[in-house]
Amino acid sequence: MIFYQEERLAMFIDGANLYAAARALGFDIDYKRLLDMFASKGRLVRAFYYTALVEDQEYSPIRPLVDWLDYNGYTMVTKQTKEFTDASGRRKIKGNMDIELAIDVMEMAEHVDHILLFSGDGDFRRLVEAVQRKGVRVSVVSTVRSQPSMVADELRRQADNFIELQDLSPMIARVHHHRDVGGHEQSPSASFESP
């Protein structure tokens, strides 16, 4: 990873894509550690997190994470999912955040030197190319070590840098607390554990 301390950085996290990549590699992300790690690499201007929320759901399992991120340094971009019936009569849920992410990247391009895109979605190749023409470096964070690979080859080729998510796991993995027989928590480290 090549970073310059004076560089203005922005993080764009495709929430569903990053979650799937980390899961495929067998770890959970500690979002505080993730933010701290990249904030130490340069001048972090903004960290965006994109996720769709299921409408009319009493409790969403992602809601505590969304709330925590919102209060702890991330700019949350959410929208309600849409439910529809496809041509063969199956109920489907749609919640794609690609357009929102692409618009924000284009708007932020003039304010940053380096964009970190946490996604392996090949649809973002043209977006990466467009911001590179504006003089912005782009690093893609995903994985080729899962089966199947979570990053599209065309996106990986277009990026200035490809950062293997598995290589980051020692610095950003969530530390799980263990309970002893008496029910007391024993933490192998004092690091903060995010939801």
pLDDT average per 10 residues of sequence, the chain (195 residues): 88 95 95 96 97 74 89 94 81 82 98 98 97 98 95 98 97 75 38 35
Per DSSP, helices labelled H in 72-139 are 98-108, 125-133
All domains in the chain, ordered by first residue: 8-83+92-177 (3.40.50.1010)
pTM: 0.85
Q: How far is CA 151 from CA 102, 143, 154, 172, in A?
A: 17, 6, 9, 19
